[in-house]
Amino acid sequence: MNPVSNNSAYCFGNLGEGLTFFSESFNDVVNSETKTLLESKLNEKYFSVTDISINDKLFTYFPLPNDFYFILLSTQDKKRTKEITHDLNNVFNNINNAATLLYKKLSDNYEKRLTEGISENLQRGAYLLKKLSANDEEDINLVDEINVILILRSIINELNNSSLNKITITTNFVEPLNNIVANEEEIFRALFNICLNAKESITGIGSIIVAAANDDANIKITISDTGTGIKEENLAKIFDMGFSTKIKKTESGIGLSIVKNIIEKYKGKIEVSSKVNFGTSFTITLPAVVKNITQPIKSNHIILADDDEFMLDLLTELFSSYNYNTETVKSGEELIEKVKNNNSYTLLIVDQNMPGIKGLDAIKQLREMGNTSSVILCSGTMLENRNDVLRKLNIADIVIKPYDFEYLLNKVKSLL
């Protein structure tokens, strides 16, 4: 679909000269100060972003062949967008958490793969929602724990759809692969570009092998092809800005200099080896988030307090699958009544926004009664004076909803 209508506000530019052409509508609504800031942000970020927000204006970047680019001014109501994306993200998160638990119960590989596909697409959808509601620099700096295998599978699907069966793509993933902390879109673009280069280097029939495995405190990704290879004298130049061995660019990929910039931004490194007429291999190493996989002790007793019955069912299923003894209540009053004369609960996971007595007030009353259980408070928004709340009521952590099941589970394991 063409993003430009007759009255669209847009501009063109290129890597060497910056912004070079502005539509009449663009000039009408974007002043010279904003244009200067836009150009400086593009140069600063090496086009590793797709959206840039300046002075309440949202600009969308589209890469073009031969280092040219196109910028479109988008019109969005940020406040309304945030409200909608917040609600949608809650829906996505509930579905994803349910799919995660369903996966654990399935034994059929085909059914498990379908469930994985649901989770993959929901996670990518949730990420896009985050970008829609991000403020100014947040869209550039938005980082999270991400699963690189999900990204690689998505890339491979795209390449398979365009290779016309002439190129065989095989994978060698050692799972479970540790997550990394990064901007998902930047990692996607970096890995996609390497895979795209691999595809374009193959003339006729060939193959690409994509591998990923844990490597001590890192993950290691290898992308190898049977393409034309790179001459030895060019290997030292391929990461230089503007360098290319392609005669004609038919795709809208980013340069390897930008790929290197993205990888190094997250404390990683990229290496290449190649032999003319035999192929090329890129190896990317990135720091991993290494999880504590110590199994819980069966005697630990958790009580969940939340007025959302569906969420209570999901959390009960989650913790029961790890052999935790779990009970539930649906209000602050029920929580107080159940816990006040019972010291067997080792952990309370309490939602703040329950009807009647709020989570914090219930915790405060229990502390005044002498309860010493560990507490995780859950809230849909950040609380004011967060550190004071943690200290005064001896709360172990405040978890922001919607829940990230993996984060919550690891927090529980660290407390019990």
Query: Could you write out the DSSP letters of every residue in 210-277?
Result: EEEEEETTEEEEEEEE-S----HHHHTTTTSTT----SS--S-PPPHHHHHHHHHHTT-EEEEEEETT
How far does Cα 250 stand from its chain's mean position? 29
Instruction: Please tell me the distance from the alpha carbon of residue 105 to that of residue 93, in angstroms, as a whole number.
Output: 19
Lowest-confidence pick of 40-54, 185-199, 204-218, 384-398: 40-54
Averaged pLDDT for residues 323-339: 90
SS3 409: helix
pLDDT band at 58 (very low <50, low <70, confident <90, very high): confident
Pairing status of strand 397-400 against strand 374-379: parallel
Lowest-confidence pick of 22-31, 118-127, 133-142, 347-356: 133-142
Looking at residue 341, its pLDDT comes to 79
Looking at residue 32, its pLDDT comes to 85
Looking at residue 405, its pLDDT comes to 79
Q: Which two tokens stand for residue 397?
A: 């952590």
Instruction: Please tell me the distance from the alpha carbon of residue 332 to that of residue 361, in angstroms, as a whole number.
Output: 8
Of the candidates 120, 202, 126, which has an alpha carbon nearest to the alpha carbon of residue 165?
Answer: 202
pTM here is 0.49
User: In this predicted model, what pLDDT tens digit does every residue of 195-220 receive, in sequence order?
Assistant: 988 998 888 889 999 999 999 889 99
- Whether 242 has a pLDDT exceeding 80, the answer reads no
Looking at residue 204, its pLDDT comes to 83
Looking at residue 342, its pLDDT comes to 78
- Whether 47 has a pLDDT exceeding 90, the answer reads no
More confident residue, 376 or 383: 376
- Whether 152 has a pLDDT exceeding 70, the answer reads yes
Q: Does residue 176 have a cis peptide bond before it, meaning omega lies within 30 degrees of 0?
A: yes
Percentage of residues of the chain with pLDDT beyond 90:
18
Across the chain, mean pLDDT equals 79
Averaged pLDDT for residues 237-265: 69
Averaged pLDDT for residues 103-119: 78
- Whether 389 has a pLDDT exceeding 60, the answer reads yes
- Whether 85 has a pLDDT exceeding 70, the answer reads no
C-alpha to C-alpha distances, 406 to 227, 242, 318, 399, 402, nearest whole angstrom: 40, 41, 10, 12, 12
Instruction: Please tell me the distance from the alpha carbon of residue 270 to that of residue 220, in angstroms, as a whole number.
Output: 10
